Structure 1
C-alpha cells in the first residue's frame, strides 16, 4: 500500500491539513506516502498560475512535510516531492530552484502544452480534435521523460483528443512504446477514475497492456478521505486487471532523487 501522488491546500484546489492525509494513510494501511503538490514556477511577464503552490508558500510546504516525516517516521515512510510539467523554456531553471529544497522525487504531470504562460498554450484536459496539440503533448512528455529526473508520469492519458480514434491509437502507440523504451512507469490515475473524467482512456490502457509498460496507481489525493476509498481502489485494480495489467509493487519502484540517481525503497 503506497501512494506518491498527494496534494495539499496550497495548490488552491485541495482540502484538509497535511497531517490529516498522513493519519488517513496510516489508518488505511499505507506504508509509504509522498506529498507531490503542484510545483511553483517563476513565470515571466507576471503570469500567475491558478492551480499550483505559490513561490511564497514553497518553504512552508517543505517544512510541513519534513516535520511530518520526523513525527511519523516509526509508522510510515513519508517522501517530499513535486508534480510539475516539462516547460522547455523554464525547465532547467526550475530544476535548480527545486533542488534547493532537497526533494525526494518528482512526478511529470503535463497539464499544459508549450509553456503555460504563452497565449497559445493549451490545457491538456480540454477537448481538442487538433492533431498538432496531440503531437505537442506527446513530444513534451517524451522530452520530460528523457531528462531522467522523474520517478513516473502522472495521468499520461490526460490529453483529451476527440478527433479520429485511429489517429489517437496510432499516435499513442508510438508514445507508449517510446516511454517503454525509456523505462519510466505510467500512472493509472485514481482521481480520473473515480470522478469519471476523460481519463482513464480505454484505448490508451489497451495499448499499455500490449506494450508491457510498468504501471502504478496514483491516488492523486485532493482530500484525506481518498485514502479510505477502498471500494473504488478495488474497482480500479479490477479495471486494470481486465487488460491483464498488475500494478507494480513498491519494491520494484525506484525514486529518482534530486541528483538524478535512483534510490530503492
Structure 2
C-alpha cells in the first residue's frame, strides 16, 4: 500500500506530529508514504497565505521528513514532497526555490485560479458559475501538467462549478482527455470522499473511467488516524471498481524529483 498525499501541522489546518503519521502508516501496512504539505510560495511582499507552510518553517519541514526517512528506512520508504499550485507569474522562481530542498516529488493541487495573491483570484473549492473561472482552472492545471514537474494531479475535480451542467461536463471531458494524452495520473481524493465535498464528482469520474486515465487514491491525510480508516478506504475502492477503475500499482507510478529524474518502484 502507498499514499503520497499527506500534510503536517505546518500548513495550519492539519494536526499531529510528523512521526505519528509514519507510525500509523506502518501499523496499517503501508510500504511507501510521502509527505506533501502545501508548499511555501514566494509571494510578493504583503501577501500572507494562511493555509501553507510559511517560509520560516520550510527548512524544518524538509529536515523533519528526511530524518524520519532515515530513522524508519528499514520499515517504510518515506518520500519528501510538496503539494502546490501552478501560478504562472511565480512559477520559475518557485520551482528553483523548491529544488533547494531536494524533494522526491511534487503533486499539483490547484487551489486557486490566476495567482493566489491577486485580488481577483478564485479559490477553486468555492462555488462559481463563471465559465471563465472554469476555463482558467482547466488551463492552469493543464499548463502545470505540461511542465513535467508533477508526479500526479491531486483532486482534478476540485473546481466547484455550479453553472450549466452540460457546459461543465463537455469542458471537463476535454480536460480529462488532454490529461490522458499527457499520461499524468489523476487522484481520487479520499478526504473529499469521506467528508462529502463537491469532489470527487461522480459525473467527472464516469468520464475518467471512459477516457481511461491512470488513477491513484490519495488519502489527503490531515491527521494521523486517517491511515486507520480501512472501512472508508474499502468503500472508495469499491466506488472505483463499480466504474471499472483499478488504481495503479506502486510500480506503475513514477516520481519526478527535483532533478527532473524519474524514480520507479
Instruction: Tell me the equivalent position of 1:32.
Output: 32
C-alpha distance in structure 2 between counterparts of 1:169 and 1:244, whole Å: 20
Deviations 1:178-224 (A, max 9, x none): 00000000000000000000001011000000100000000000000
Answer yes or no: is 1:201 the counterpart of 2:201. Answer: yes
Please give the secondary structure, in 2, of the residue aligned with 1:6: coil
Other-structure match for 1:257: 257
Query: How big is the shift at 1:263?
Result: 1.2
**Residues in 1 aligned to 2:250 and 2:37: alpha-carbon distance in whole angstroms:** 21
Query: In 1, distance between residues paired with 2:69 and 2:263?
Result: 17
What is residue 2 of structure 2 aligned with on the other side?
A: 2
3-state secondary structure, aligned to 2:80: strand
Mapped partners of 2:62, 2:258: distance in 1: 14
Q: What CA distance in whole angstroms lies between the structure 2 residues aligned with 1:261 and 1:172?
A: 30
Query: 2: CA distance between counterparts of 1:12 and 1:139?
Result: 28
* Cα distance in 1 between the residues matched to 2:108 and 2:254: 15
Aligned length: 265
Whether 1:226 and 2:226 are equivalent positions in the alignment is yes
**What is the DSSP-based 3-state SS (H/G/I as helix, E as strand, rest coil) of the residue aligned with 1:101?**
coil
1:172 paired with 2:172, answer yes
Question: Can you list the C-alpha shifts for 1:134-189, whole angstroms capped at 9, x where unaligned?
Answer: 00000000000000000000000000001111111100010000000000000000
Provide the secondary structure at the position in 2 that maps to 1:220. coil
Q: Name the TM-score, length of structure 1 as normaliser.
A: 0.99
**Aligned Cα root-mean-square deviation (Å):** 0.5
Question: Hey, what's the Cα distance between the residues in 2 that align with 1:157 and 1:72?
Answer: 34
State the secondary structure of the residue aligned to 2:79: strand
The residue correspondences of 1:49-88 to structure 2 (distance < 5 A) are: 49-88=49-88
- 1:111 maps to 111
Partner residue, 2:48: 48
Unmatched tracts of structure 2, length 5 or more: none
Mapped partners of 1:3, 1:166: distance in 2: 34
Deviation of 1:242 after TM superposition, in Å, equals: 1.3
Aligned residue for 1:81, secondary structure, equals: strand
The residue that corresponds to 2:247 in the other structure is 247
| Secondary structure of the structure 1 residue equivalent to 2:88 | coil
SS of match in other structure, 2:34: strand
